[in-house]
Chain A
Amino acid sequence: DAGITQSPRHKVTETGTPVTLRCHQTENHRYMYWYRQDPGHGLRLIHYSYGVKDTDKGEVSDGYSVSRSKTEDFLLTLESATSSQTSVYFCAIGAGGPEAFFGQGTRLTVV
């Protein structure tokens, strides 16, 4: 299995608080992605990165920011969490290229 881990795996937070999710890879892959998965929507791209300090928005980027200061880590930040951001978040590497590997997901609940 590809070395990709997400942390935390579960989190409950209050509306208005900042939250940061971490994705760590050991594959030295250039491309990293953050998706959210909601019933009836499938997976939707939030942000992706094509290299250190190189990031771009996906289709549902509002309310989210990302950072990639080194190849192995891709951070997703909810600046001020809202209930609509309750979701399961998946990190992926290589999604869109020849191989696609996914983290185990982070279940985030905003109360």
Chain B
Amino acid sequence: KNEVEQSPQNLTAQEGEFITINCSYSVGISALHWLQQHPGGGIVSLFMLSSGKKKHGRLIATINIQEKHSSLHITASHPRDSAVYICAVNSGDYQLIWGAGTKLIIKP
């Protein structure tokens, strides 16, 4: 069993829909990262969370440490949000444990 599980693996939605991507982990962590990768592109860090909730524009990330679960939400989704979203956790040894990613496609 992977230590970091993301769901869904693939998600297709219409423009304007509210999007939720989930991340569950089985190890103790000091921080959780959400990252974005556009097709053929580099990887960009969106959020780093250790508790609570963070918001940046239309993106919201939450984490529940007790339940070992995090969610990434996108409000008013747009085709330019189409990308792979990756969850990764820092278990404390200066290395990240990576989820497999969620491929999001937003159709106009």
A interface residues (Cβ-Cβ under 8 A, vs B):
31, 33, 40-45, 48, 50, 58, 90, 92, 95-105
Q: Contact at A96–B96, with CB atoms within 8 Å?
A: yes
How far does the alpha carbon of A96 sit from the alpha carbon of B33 in the complex, in Å?
A: 9
How far does the alpha carbon of A81 sit from the alpha carbon of B11 in the complex, in Å?
A: 36
- The 26 sampled A-B contact pairs (Cβ below 8 Å) are A33-B95, A40-B100, A42-B86, A42-B98, A42-B100, A42-B101, A43-B96, A43-B98, A44-B98, A45-B96, A50-B94, A58-B95, A90-B43, A95-B96, A96-B90, A96-B93, A96-B94, A97-B90, A98-B31, A99-B45, A100-B48, A100-B96, A101-B45, A104-B41, A104-B42, A105-B41
Interface of B is mostly: strand
A103: shortest Cβ distance to chain B, in Å? Answer: 7
Given A42-B100, A43-B86, A100 and B35 touching (CB < 8 A)? yes
Given A42-B86, A43-B86, 17 more A-B residue pairs with CB atoms under 8 Å apart are A42-B100, A50-B94, A90-B42, A90-B43, A95-B96, A96-B90, A96-B93, A96-B96, A97-B94, A100-B35, A100-B45, A102-B42, A102-B45, A104-B41, A104-B42, A105-B42, A105-B43
* Interface: B44 (CB within 8 A): yes
